[in-house]
Amino acid sequence: MNIGITVYPTYGGSGIVGSELGRDLAARGHNVHFISSVLPTRVTELGERVHFHEVEMMSYPLFEHQPYDLALATKMATVARAERLDLLHVHYAIPHSISAILARESIKQKRYVPVITTLHGTDITLVGADRSYLPITRYGLQQSDGVTAVSKFLKQATIETFDFDEIEVIPNFICSHHYKRLEDSPLHAELAPNGEKLLTHVSNFRAVKRPIDCVEILAKVKAHGKNVRLVMVGDGPERSAVYYRAEQLNVKDDVSFVGKQANIADYLGVSDVFLLPSELESFGLAALEAQACELPVIATRIGGIPEVVNDGETGFLSDVGDIEKMSEDTLRLLNDEDMRRAFGEKGRDLAIQRYNADKIIPQYISFYEKVLQTTEGGESLPVMNASGVQKS
Ligand code: GMT
């Protein structure tokens, strides 16, 4: 298949999922065309089957804000025709599904290019549910040729907010070869020079992730005399507030802010406990990546997290903001190495059994096939099997 993929290229889990999906589809023999403002961060190599089309923005004095959505729609339409795309798969509803629908409509006299929208989280729960975006988000859902959501929670949230239920749940995924425990990595000695245990948090430091709670937990754990450091991976709007709180709590020197990292698995692989105290998480890709690296997860019991983390088996779940319990649970794990390891092993087993790429990518391919079969023009297109071989 020739597949157009659009993601937010620099920020967040939806971009990671869309990029890794594209890379995996290319490895299975499909042609993937990324269409976005810059090359998505996880797309490190272009090649025979992985292409990038930059959205070009014209600046004009009359435009108070440049109309990215329209420029994206134009690029999608141009690429769809030039590369004979079979479908456009967009990640995050706003504005990507609207741009894709516009692109589809603008060229449908020539050929019909179906639009598949994958819902990731705040596109439904925060942005889409806001009154200013709700009607256009509903329109995007209704007009897409297929809609997927990354968790059962998100599907239910979409039904409740938008009264729209034609949604296939296809969860986030990991590559089990890439995410694993790393014994003897030099990074461990760098982050824990005095043999400290490492608590790690990975996010884009938005308020919804509550990264300040991580330093609160660190301070409480340290107050119990634990030799521990906190590794904060990522960057975003809350970073300076986190730093400030660490100073106030007198734990600033026990925190490593390592910024955005291309290879998160390097950090997860050398850590001991993962912290995800989010206010809302439709799935919790970071928790899945941590579990794949044998890290027990301390997280909140919200959104799709209970679908990913088994409370009392692969981590511990708490109410949002319950720093006391999250600190106690972290201490339980740090005080009991056998428990920490057992949780880690179970977490990796769960990640591989339920969420390995080998299981999830074929679900996307089957979904594409289903959409192509039910949309105009789909019958004449070659359909590949999961290995990239054309079906007869
Ligand atoms: O919805 C968002 O906040 C954006 C998105 C992102 O780009 O970071 O995150 C969501 O998508 C991830 C990948 O599907 C999920 O694993 C995250 O749980 C989800 N974030 C939230 O729901 C806050």
CA–centroid distance, 20 to ligand 1, in Å, is: 15
**pLDDT the model gives residue 382:** 46
Between CA 360 and CA 372 the distance in angstroms is: 19
Please report the atom of ligand 1 found closest to the CA of residue 15. 7
For residue 147, the SS3 value is strand
Q: Residue 8 — very low, low, confident or very high, per pLDDT cuts 50/70/90?
A: very high
- Asked if pLDDT for residue 384 goes beyond 50, the answer is no
Instruction: Output the residue whose Cα is nearest ligand 1's atom 23.
Output: 281
Q: Is the CB of residue 117 below 6 angstroms from any atom belonging to ligand 1?
A: no
Please report the atom of ligand 1 found closest to the CA of residue 14. 7
Query: Residues 201-224: pLDDT tens digits?
Result: 999 999 999 999 999 999 999 999
Higher pLDDT, 65 or 53: 53
Please report the atom of ligand 1 found closest to the CA of residue 8. 7
Please tell me the pTM assigned to this model: 0.92
**pLDDT the model gives residue 123:** 87
Specify whether the backbone of 121 is left (phi greater than 0), alpha (psi in -120 to 50) or beta.
left
Mean pLDDT of 360-376: 95
Q: Is the CB of residue 219 below 6 angstroms from any atom belonging to ligand 1?
A: no
Between CA 352 and CA 363 the distance in angstroms is: 15
Mean pLDDT of 288-307: 98
Query: Residues 233-274: pLDDT tens digits?
Result: 999 999 999 999 999 999 999 999 999 998 999 999 999 999
Angle at 86 between CA 81 and CA 90, to 5 degrees: 95
187 close to 264: Cβ distance less than 8 angstroms: no
CATH number assigned to the domain covering 2-173+357-378: 3.40.50.2000
Q: Is the bond leading into 135 cis (omega within 30 degrees of zero)? A: no
Between CA 49 and CA 28 the distance in angstroms is: 10
Q: Is the CB of residue 151 below 6 angstroms from any atom belonging to ligand 1?
A: no
Given 3.40.50.2000, 3.40.50.1000, 3.40.50.300, 3.50.50.60, which CATH number is that of 186-355? Answer: 3.40.50.2000
Query: Residues 90-125: pLDDT tens digits?
Result: 999 999 999 999 999 999 999 999 999 999 998 888
Angle of helix 68-82 relative to helix 96-107, nearest 10 degrees, comes to: 50
CA–centroid distance, 280 to ligand 1, in Å, is: 9
The pair of structure tokens assigned to 62 is: 């009359």
Task: Please give the torsion angle defined by the CA atoms of residues 13, 14, 20 and 23, in that order, rounded to the nearest 10 degrees.
Answer: -150
Q: Residue 385 — very low, low, confident or very high, per pLDDT cuts 50/70/90?
A: very low
Half-sphere exposure of 179 (CA within 13 A, CB side): 27
Q: Is the CB of residue 299 below 6 angstroms from any atom belonging to ligand 1?
A: no
* Owner of token pair 């919804």: 208
Q: Of the ranges 25-39, 48-62, 78-92, 289-303, which one carries the lowest mean pLDDT score?
A: 48-62
CA–centroid distance, 7 to ligand 1, in Å, is: 12
254 close to 218: Cβ distance less than 8 angstroms: yes
Mean pLDDT of 41-68: 88
Q: Is the CB of residue 206 below 6 angstroms from any atom belonging to ligand 1?
A: no
CA–centroid distance, 12 to ligand 1, in Å, is: 7
Q: Is the CB of residue 284 below 6 angstroms from any atom belonging to ligand 1?
A: yes
Query: Residues 148-186: pLDDT tens digits?
Result: 999 999 999 999 999 999 999 999 999 999 999 998 899
| Cα end-to-end span (Å), the chain | 14
**pLDDT the model gives residue 378:** 45
Q: Is the CB of residue 282 below 6 angstroms from any atom belonging to ligand 1?
A: yes
Q: Is the CB of residue 281 below 6 angstroms from any atom belonging to ligand 1?
A: yes
Between CA 71 and CA 259 the distance in angstroms is: 31
Q: Which residues of 56-91 are buried (b: 16+ CB within 10 A; e: fewer)?
A: eeeeeeeeeeeeeebbbbbbbbbbbeebebbbbbbb
Choose among 172, 136, 138, 169: nearest CA to 154: 169
CA–centroid distance, 92 to ligand 1, in Å, is: 9
Between CA 371 and CA 85 the distance in angstroms is: 14
Residue % of the chain over a pLDDT of 90: 85
Mean pLDDT of 47-66: 89
Q: Residue 377 — very low, low, confident or very high, per pLDDT cuts 50/70/90?
A: low
Q: Is the CB of residue 203 below 6 angstroms from any atom belonging to ligand 1?
A: no
Higher pLDDT, 42 or 193: 193
Query: Residues 122-144: pLDDT tens digits?
Result: 888 887 778 889 999 999 999 99
Start-end of CATH 3.40.50.2000 domains in the chain? 2-173+357-378, 186-355
* Owner of token pair 């079969």: 373
**pLDDT the model gives residue 392:** 36
